[in-house]
Structure 1
């Protein structure tokens, strides 16, 4: 019978049929998100063991433990002489270091580091210490064995303990804290799309990459380069477009909202359909993302939606316009920041990236708002723009941190940053410090009123002294106001933690009467609550004039969580 089966079919026919099935190109869906899911969108936690040194006898020997063994092994690899003796000094302390690397991070990006001490430690205070270079790796438990990755980040920097800004009596707060922007990412994190099984085919992968590159590209020198590359029949590698740097989650959402259909006469029909969905609150957010994915062709539809009465619909349209670098987005985004706390954080992020100089003037207008988070959020957005930073005129204090004095019609406030930036921001017309101010601050700092030698009474100035064992005494005379006090602390050798702790103590003792706030930035995950009707049309705008009632829902934050 040869190769014929009992059913009269040749096995070669079955092979050919199977091969044809494999070669058959699946029908392309309408949107990329129907064919692919994002990959690489999780934060990566990195860990290390290191030494904090330059402590004034408040460190302690590293007690025998797995942490000490790990550190000794690392020190031997780096050929550090007499590592055991080094770990016994009371000017050093063994610590654990943690950090989170965001999706799409590039080599050279910085991250904040969290500092913890091992369960058993003789260190009593890490205030002002310096974290020596440490290699941070990602660790996983695989088959009952801890496996470590290559070095993903290098960490170093000045310690900021929780006691500096918290000030409670808990002694553990003196040996835990953070290092702002202390970690430097060592390698790029790639993003990608994984093609769903039913669509896995080289032609589908190529079609997805082509659709992405026709919308998202940039110029590498004189060469135009798309952000997508089909590397397998089931994987497309994605580079981060410059407009979406540190906005990778939104980039991937917009990319997946791209259509795979070629541009044709049906595009106008799609714009009309999305325009209708943009007028319904339940579908408006997704419609705006799809319009953003279309690009310039969707601008008229989005601009028209920014004129609607419904604040939610206006916000979604304006946010999409902002990522298309349209000036029409600025005014409705500013309105959203003023009126609705739930939209405040994403609106500020969108404004920060608009490549329009008029955005700077709009952000500066928010500095007079009554809301502190709106004011500081606007200031942070300006600080992160090249054309906005110069308008703030920040002052570098002895290379330790920056001091900003911001004119504002809002309530006066002293703002301290605990995320990314070493900065103190003074907003508004602050109340002068009392002439009789007298206090013992952190790390040998003493503040007293300066006596007027002509009248033997206290003058309007303060004397800042600093006494430390084994180091020369330092003195500074300053005016009795917050800005001068902060400058004086750095003049006597104080660091960022010293300035923060001094401000906190002055507030606790009633000498600082204005508001002291730590990172009063808008929260990024607030809920917007709708009331009344759930749609709006041009024919019936009046019915929705009062339908929106903004609300916000703040989630509790763990101080130890990065």
Structure 2
């Protein structure tokens, strides 16, 4: 009797176990089948695309805006207390974090002003790169003029609104430097122009920005990502010391990281466009057929720009096709071929690019940009030839490219004036002009034979500057007779500071040098030039940043195609 219950229980458990195993078998099998199909789907490699752009989109090509709150000091009583606000609270928090003594008292002084600072970090920026900063004065301040001020160290962060609150990134840039107010170069009566401005190259980027490709869901697979990276590295590589290294790395099945190739520094958007035009499949016998096809497309305005990018993606093998296209009669087609050849470092690009710069405004900015990194000695002489053009934007654009080329900047000379800015005197047969930079580098450029100053007696400039013409017998320094027997005496009177005096040559270059001799900065020089022009003291043209504009529209003639039968009627213009 004692074994019966036990036997019953055992049989019941056995029956339950069998039922469970049988009843659940179909459910388990169905689950395994679904998982297996999903697993097989993951293992299946998608068909690779013909071009990378079919499978991936660029990442990291947007500028990153960074903001901060800071103090502009060294103002001659034109600052003012920072009134209670969120800006003041943010600045006080920053000052306490950096152990600034008595921050509240510091913000009450009239030689200081609280300001907002903003900058844009470009794609592909590296640690140590410089960026321009914009100065925005917050509404709750009593500052009246930032002229002559110095932006104290400020930490700039990227800010976003998440869940109804402002979230800030780590410090992405640090800014400091002299302020150039909008009022210095804009002569309108708007008082707000005196409390806003910029600091040229005042921001220092603190971390590298990576570029990349995000792979579309249809193509997300580790083998596709690797195939894309391999295709890119077969085309773009450089030597890191003694090691050859490609620019692409597949870090995920849906992301390929891209380093900027040295040839494409400051041309990151073009690099990504070329990368996305690379063929994923390895080079084969079909490459020649593709070259023929692209060569034909390069002769049709509506397809020429994209064909040139694809030929650039092919690399050296496309050079004969591109060289042949530079001989076409259509200037637009010649330009696309020459631009691509420039990025392939070919001398054949120089002549058609220079022609485009001279004759077509829409080609100037991209052509000058392409010539910046063209490693050909002939490019320097070609750019120097452009300094004699009648177009001021052509001359100044060529000058800035020469200035930024390591193999040409010494040919321009240029004086470093007390560490404040540079003065260039450029020989040119074009119309004389005076140029002041408002971006990147503080510089004043005298183009051609600048006329003598039309100064009869004296001229009152900004910030206590007074310029007076003095006769030879009144000058403290001997006067060369070729200078017309006169010199300029520059005086500067500022409250609370010693008076300053300087005597200089009686010409525009002397005036600009004299401003720095009496303690003036770039803002003083720019404002002096503007006021001298307004009062007729400066006779020649005065221009601020007359650089060629990008994204200009090139208007095509109806018969501009090499093959009229292939020209699409609905395409009549191309934006460069």
Give the TM bin, normalised by the shorter chain.
over 0.9
1:79 partner SS? coil
Moved more, 180-189 or 462-471: 462-471
Is the 1:449–1:459 Cα contact (8 Å) retained in structure 2?
A: no
Deviation at 1:160, TM superposition (A): 0.4
Q: Distance in 2 between matches of 1:549 and 1:33?
A: 26
Aligned residue for 2:499?
A: 473
Q: Distance in 2 between matches of 1:58 and 1:435?
A: 30
Work out whether 1:404 is the aligned partner of 2:421: no
Distance 1:59 1:11, change over 3 A: closer
Write out per-residue CA displacement over residues 84-112 of structure 1, whole angstroms, 9 at most, x where no aligned residue: 01111111000000000011110000000
Work out whether 1:46 is the aligned partner of 2:66: yes
Aligned residue for 1:427?
A: 447
User: How many residues in Structure 1 have an aligned counterpart in Structure 2?
Assistant: 544
Moved more, 118-127 or 404-413: 118-127
Write out per-residue CA displacement over residues 274-298 of structure 1, whole angstroms, 9 at most, x where no aligned residue: 0000000000000000000100000
TM-score of the superposition, structure 1-length normalised? 0.94
Deviation at 1:144, TM superposition (A): 0.4
Work out whether 1:450 is the aligned partner of 2:456: no
Q: Distance in 2 between matches of 1:550 and 1:449?
A: 55
Write out per-residue CA displacement over residues 237-260 of structure 1, whole angstroms, 9 at most, x where no aligned residue: 000000000110000000000000
Q: Pick one of 503, 511, 514 that aligns with 2:529.
A: 503
User: Larger C-alpha radius of gyration, 1 or 2?
Assistant: 2
Is the 2:66–2:159 Cα contact (8 Å) retained in structure 1?
A: yes
Is the 2:455–2:537 Cα contact (8 Å) retained in structure 1?
A: no
Q: Distance in 1 between matches of 2:50 and 2:24?
A: 44
Distance 1:551 1:145, change over 3 A: closer
Distance 1:2 1:382, change over 3 A: same
**1:4-403 equivalence runs, <5 A:** 5=26, 10-403=30-423
Moved more, 434-443 or 111-120: 434-443
Deviation at 1:22, TM superposition (A): 1.2
Q: Pick one of 495, 499, 516 that aligns with 1:490.
A: 516
2:131 partner SS? strand
Deviation at 1:475, TM superposition (A): 1.2
Is the 1:4–1:11 Cα contact (8 Å) retained in structure 2?
A: no
Deviation at 1:11, TM superposition (A): 3.7
Is the 1:413–1:516 Cα contact (8 Å) retained in structure 2?
A: yes
Aligned residue for 2:553?
A: 527
Deviation at 1:470, TM superposition (A): 2.5
Is the 2:454–2:536 Cα contact (8 Å) retained in structure 1?
A: no
Is the 2:433–2:542 Cα contact (8 Å) retained in structure 1?
A: yes
Is the 2:558–2:572 Cα contact (8 Å) retained in structure 1?
A: no
Deviation at 1:551, TM superposition (A): 10
Distance 1:240 1:345, change over 3 A: same
Distance 1:549 1:141, change over 3 A: closer
Moved more, 446-455 or 149-158: 446-455
Q: Distance in 2 between matches of 1:262 and 1:338?
A: 40
Write out per-residue CA displacement over residues 202-243 of structure 1, whole angstroms, 9 at most, x where no aligned residue: 000000000001111111111111110100000000000000
Deviation at 1:387, TM superposition (A): 0.8
Gaps of 5+ in 2: 1-21, 476-483
Q: Distance in 1 between matches of 2:306 and 2:211?
A: 22
Distance 1:46 1:388, change over 3 A: same
Higher helix share: 2
Write out per-residue CA displacement over residues 454-507 of structure 1, whole angstroms, 9 at most, x where no aligned residue: 89xx95321111112232221111222111110111111110011111111110
2:198 partner SS? strand
Q: Distance in 1 between matches of 2:403 and 2:214?
A: 37
TM-score of the superposition, structure 2-length normalised? 0.92
Distance 1:13 1:83, change over 3 A: same
Q: Distance in 1 between matches of 2:159 and 2:512?
A: 41
Deviation at 1:169, TM superposition (A): 1.3
Deviation at 1:451, TM superposition (A): 3.2
Distance 1:550 1:33, change over 3 A: closer
Q: Distance in 2 between matches of 1:180 and 1:308?
A: 42
Q: Distance in 2 between matches of 1:295 and 1:208?
A: 16
Aligned residue for 1:438?
A: 458
**Over aligned residues, Cα RMSD in angstroms?**
2.0
Runs of 4+ in 1 over 3 A off after TM superposition: 1-6, 8-11, 451-455, 548-553
Q: Distance in 2 between matches of 1:364 and 1:180?
A: 26
Is the 1:340–1:551 Cα contact (8 Å) retained in structure 2?
A: no
Moved more, 368-377 or 17-26: 17-26
Q: Distance in 1 between matches of 2:543 and 2:472?
A: 34
Deviation at 1:550, TM superposition (A): 9.5
Distance 1:138 1:551, change over 3 A: closer
2:554 partner SS? coil
